[in-house]
Amino acid sequence: MRENRVRTLWADDRPVVNGWLAIANSYSAEVMAHEDFDSLTIDMQHGMVDFQAAIAMFQALSTRNCTPLARVAWNDPALIMKSLDAGAYGIICPMVNTREECERFVGACRYAPVGYRSFGPARGILYGGADYAAEANDTVVTLAMIETAEAMANLDAIMSVNGLDGIYVGPSDLAISLGHPPSPEPVAPNVLEAIDEILAAAARNGVKAGIHCPNGASVREKFQRGFRFATVTNDARLMAMAAKAEIAAARA
C-alpha cells in the first residue's frame, strides 16, 4: 500500500507540516500539493467543499507525495467512510467530546474486526494499491478534534480509545467554549492552560497532538512545545495574506 507520510514522520518522532484546503477547486489543490507540505487536509466542514469537489481535489493531490487527509463535517460514519473510499489517508473529526463519540469515529475508519467500516474503497484502492484491504487499518490515521469544555473533562477517556492515532486542537472553538471570542492564536490564560493540558494528556496516552495555527511561525513554536502535527492556516487565508502584502508593496 502507498506510504502514509504522516505515519512515517511520526515513527521517527518528526513533526508533520499540514496544509489546509478550504477552496473547492482541484487546480488550487494541485498548486498546494506542489509545495512542500507533508500532508494536505480537505476541509469539508467549514471549507467550501462538498463531496463531489473533494473527489477531484483528492485526484489533484495524488500528483504529488503529500498525504491526503479530510476534515469531515461531523462525526457521521457515512461521510467518514465515503471520504476514505475516495482516497483520504486520514480523517480529522470535529467536536469529539466523549469516549463513546471517539469510539464511533475510530470504528468508522477501521474494517472489522477492530471497527465497522463497510468495504468498498472505490478510489481508495486506486490510490492506495491492490493490498488496500489488508493494509488500510494500519495505514489510515485518525485524529479527533478537542475543542470544547466537555471534551476537556474527558481527555483521558477520549485519548485512550484503541485505534485513535492523535488529537487535533481547534483553538477558536476551544476559546468560545471556555468563554472567550474565537481566536486562531488564543491569549486567554485559561485557554492556554487548556492547550497545555491537552498536550500533556496526549503524551500521557501515547497519541500525537495536532493543532490549527495562523502562520508558519506559530507552527514552529507548537512543534517546539511538543505538537507533532500542525496546520499552516488555509489556502484562502494564504492567498489573502499574499495579496495584501503585494498590494501594500505596490502602493508603497
> 46 an active-site residue?
yes
Distance CA 174, CA 186 (A): 9
Cell of 145: 478534534
Distance CA 187, CA 191 (A): 7
CB atoms within 10 A of CB 100: 13
How far is the CA of 69 from the CAs of 34, 43, 58, 118, 140, in angstroms? Answer: 16, 9, 9, 19, 9
Cell of 174: 476551544
Buried b (16+ CB within 10 A) or exposed e, 82-92: bbbbbbbbbbb
The one-letter amino acid code at 104 reads R
Burial class of residue 25 (count of CB atoms within 10 Å of its CB; 0-12, 13-18, 19+):
middle
User: If we measure between CA atoms, which residue out of 31, 9, 7, 4 comes closest to residue 19?
Assistant: 31
Q: What is the 3-state secondary structure (H, E, C) of 98-154?
A: CHHHHHHHHHHCCCCCCCCCCCCCCCHHHHHCCCHHHHHHHHCEEEEEECCHHHHCC
Among 34, 46, 180, 212, the active-site one is 46
The residues carrying an active-site annotation are 46
